[in-house]
Amino acid sequence: MTEFIQLVLAGTANGCIYGLLALALVLIYRSTHIINFGQGEMAMFSTYICWSFLNAGMGYWLAVPLTLILAFAAGIAVQRVLIRPVQNAPELTIVIVTLGLYLFFNSLALWIYSGVPKPFPLPTGIRQASWQVGDIFIIPYHLFIFAVLITLMAALYLLFQRTKLGLGLRAAAAQPASSRLVGINVNWMLALGWGIAAAAGAIAGILSAPVVQLEPNFMATILIFSFASATLGGFDSPPGAVVGGIAIGNIVALGGRYIEFIGTQLDIVLALVVIVTVLLIRPAGLFGRQVVQRV
């Protein structure tokens, strides 16, 4: 039982990271119906930027906000420069452009930072040692991840539901044509959406870097788990992405331990199974809206 609780705790912490990246995917999918295959690699690259700041002697709590601002700006730039010209192109074109992003950031990181894993520090103020409650060890960093996720969700909720900008963002996603008529700059709203997604992805990268080592491919697996999370939660539901992420985190942690065949090597197979099962049984995911189309 102790082991089970321990696994759930660790799985939830990982799941929060999957949820964050899934959130980034969902934010973009919801507004533009694009699945950004480059999301994970953009997050990975942001994490490297953060590492460079830290390496240059900057404090954690200065380096991270700075990175997030840069990631936000980069997200906007990518949308404005690369995605907008193909916004209305066939799906294949868009998929290929985002795959181009994947390849580009992956190889750029390898180019600049080499493939040697880099140690990434815990946030200053978070202690390394774990607390013991009965038989269970609680790792403070896991709680920190959870707290970040909750804070971010609350902030996004306030942004989307309580501000005029948020209203504009939602309107641009739901009804681009009508939004344009009432004076919303839809193109900028979409770009802002990409910026927010890039920043959320960067948070996911920075949070997971201390757990797994920082190397150019470290987000690739996380991206697949995030895809599974977003599929499970529903590709157009931000809360769904987070719930899906936590679910996937636990499925992976428990499945790896209790299903003999899976072990630690084949956890990615679990993601594949979840993706295919969800798409077959309930394509819209747990929280997604079933889209009905008139032909």
Partner 1 sequence: MELLRSLDYRRNWFLPLLVVAGLVWLSARWVDYGAIPAVGDLIEPFAGMAALLSILAIATVVAAYLLRPVLDRGPQAERALRWVGYGLIVAFFAFMPLYVELIPHASMLKMTVAIQFMIVIVGLNLLTGFGGQISLGQGAFFAIGGYTLAIGFREWDLPWGWSLLIAPLIAGVLGFLIGIPALRFKGPYLALATLSLAVTITPLAKKFEEFTGGVQGVVMFGKLGVPFWQDNLDRFFYYTTALIALLVFILAANLRRGRFGRALVAIRDNEVAASAMGVNVALYKMTAFGIAGAFAGLAGALNGVVIQFVSPDQYSVLLSIRFLVGAVIGGIATINGAIIGGLFQQFVPDVTVSINKSAPDAIQAIILIVVMYTMRYGVAGFLQETWRYARSGLRLRKPGAGVTVVETVVVVEEEVVIVRQDGGGAG
92-121 residues in contact with partner 1 (CB under 8 A) are: 92-97, 99-104, 106-108, 110-111
Find the part of the chain contacting partner 1 (CB under 8 A) among 42-50, 51-59, 190-198, 226-234. 226-234
Instruction: Report whether 237 contacts 285 (CB < 8 A).
Output: yes
Contacts to partner 1 from residues 227-256, by CB under 8 A: 227-228, 231
List the one residue from 57, 90, 119, 183 that touches partner 1 (CB under 8 A).
Answer: 90
Instruction: Please report how many Cα atoms fall inside a 13 Å half-sphere around the Cα of residue 175, on the Cβ side.
Output: 8
Stretch that binds partner 1, among 45-53, 183-191, 206-214, 268-276 (CB under 8 A): 268-276
Give least dist CB 270 to partner 1, A.
Answer: 10
Angle at 217 between CA 216 and CA 218, to 5 degrees: 100
Nearer of residues 107 and 178 to partner 1, judged by Cβ:
107
Q: Which of 1, 88, 183, 290 binds partner 1 (CB under 8 A)?
A: 88
Decide if residue 220 touches partner 1 (CB under 8 A): yes
Site for partner 1 in 124-183 (CB under 8 A): none
Q: How far is the CB of 249 from partner 1 (least distance, A)?
A: 17
Single out the segment in contact with partner 1 by CB under 8 A; choices: 124-132, 152-160, 249-257, 266-274.
Answer: 266-274
186 belongs to the binding site for partner 1 (CB under 8 A): no
Query: Which DSSP string do the residues of the chain spell out, in sequence order?
Result: -HHHHHHHHHHHHHHHHHHHHHHHHHHHHHHH----TTHHHHHHHHHHHHHHHHHTT--HHHHHHHHHHHHHHHHHHHIIIIIGGGTTS-HHHHHHHHHHHHHHHHHHHHHHH-SS-B--PPPTT--SSPEEETTEEE-HHHHHHHHHHHHHHHHHHHHHHHSHHHHHHHHHHH-HHHHHHTT--HHHHHHHHHHHHHHHHHHHHHHHTTTS-B-TTHHHHHHHHHHHHHHHH-TT-HHHHHHHHHHHHHHHHHHHHH-TTTTTTSHHHHHHHHHHHHHHH-TTTTTPPPP----
In the window 18-77, what residues touch partner 1 (CB under 8 A)?
Answer: 33-35, 37
Output 14 or 106, the one with its CB closest to partner 1: 106
Nearer to partner 1, 209 or 262 (CB): 262
**# chain residues binding partner 1, by CB under 8 A:** 47
Report in angstroms how near the CB of residue 23 gets to partner 1 at its nearest: 17
Q: Which residues make up the interface to partner 1 (CB under 8 A)?
A: 33-35, 37, 82, 85-86, 88-97, 99-104, 106-108, 110-111, 220-221, 224, 227-228, 231, 263, 265-266, 268-269, 271-272, 275-276, 279-280, 283, 295
